[in-house]
Amino acid sequence: MTDTTTSREPISGPSAWRGSDLAGSTAWIYELGPAELSDLEAAGRRFVADDPDLRTVTAADYPLPACTRLNEESARQLDSGRGFILIRGLKTEEYGDVLAGAIFFIMGLHLGLPIGQNQMGDLLDHVIATSDKTLADEGAKPSRVRDRLPFHSDSSDVVALMCLRGAREGGASSLVSGTTIYNEVLRRRPDLAPLLFEPFHWDWKKQDPDAPGNTYTSPVVSYVDGIFSIYAGMSMVFSAQRFEEVPRLTPEQIEVLNLFDEISQEPGLALDMNFQPGDVQWLLNYAALHSRTGYLDFAEPERRRHLLRLWLKRDVGRPLVEKFGKHVVTMGEPAGGVLPGGRFTIADAVTPNFDWGN
């Protein structure tokens, strides 16, 4: 029988890590070997020459025979390990953005199915400041501003980032273990921890302006067959309170949500990664939350901080409670339908769309 009960005991295992324990270690960094690097570069060059449609290309079209260990270790860390891995060694500054993007996309194909990330259905998106807006400005996109971001989950199984260029100052990628946050809530307030297994209303309109409904519901945590999963971004829960039809949060619910956020920001819990050009980070959204520190850009537009981003659907049969996460849409499909303007060749896709997100 499937066990969907709340856990009254701390969750153990490799996903229950603390940043302070990992910061002095390189165990979470995978250094590419010469054969792996050569394989990835050759596949990337062929990808650029072939110029395939990003919507239909498959991993089988671009095999990586020398990268078996890389792919197996990446999959292991995502599915049953820490929930993330950093791949280092790609020479993106030598490749140029098109070849770098091709290699990144091929790596993604071998770990899952790339899915749309915006209304245009772009499969390769960008984390780059396209204006001087802040998160406080109406319509500002978190990926297009320089502010510090709160810890949250994305709308995919896996989120991946490739660093093309780093910031002048700041801009570290921050990860925090969802398992560790839950264990801390359980330790400090065992009376409140069970509330995280109950459904909350999430602001759908704020995430997708064209959404057909105002909100959807999901628990913050899932525990099925001994597998713990997280879905967070508490600002969306509090924002949903603006709709009259949404039940008011109880004092206990408000307390546990605030406690969750407070714990996530405590010193020693998060792991900050100062990306180097060529770094690739794979993160399972069910295992850890992510954010970044605020940053300053270089004055020259061509030197500004620029990350490529993939969202992957990774169907490995992970058990989840019913209606967990953003279940109201097919993963990767815009709530209001796909708009024209998507970029589906690699040369187009690696260039940011400066008309979107401003």
In this structure, are residues 156 and 342 in contact, taking their beta carbons and an 8 Å threshold?
no
**What is the β-pairing status of strands 295-296 and 221-224?**
unpaired
**H-helix segments, the chain:** 19-22, 34-50, 68-80, 92-95, 97-109, 178-188, 204-207, 234-239, 251-264, 346-349
pTM, to two decimals: 0.93
Please list the pLDDT of the chain residue by residue as tens digits (358 residues): 234 456 678 999 999 999 999 998 999 999 999 999 999 999 999 999 999 999 999 999 999 999 999 999 999 999 999 999 999 999 999 999 999 999 999 999 999 999 999 889 999 999 887 777 766 667 667 776 677 778 889 989 999 999 999 877 777 889 999 999 999 999 999 999 999 999 999 999 998 888 999 999 999 999 999 999 999 999 999 999 999 999 999 999 999 999 999 999 999 999 999 999 999 999 999 999 999 877 677 778 878 889 999 999 999 999 999 999 999 988 877 766 788 889 999 999 999 877 655 5
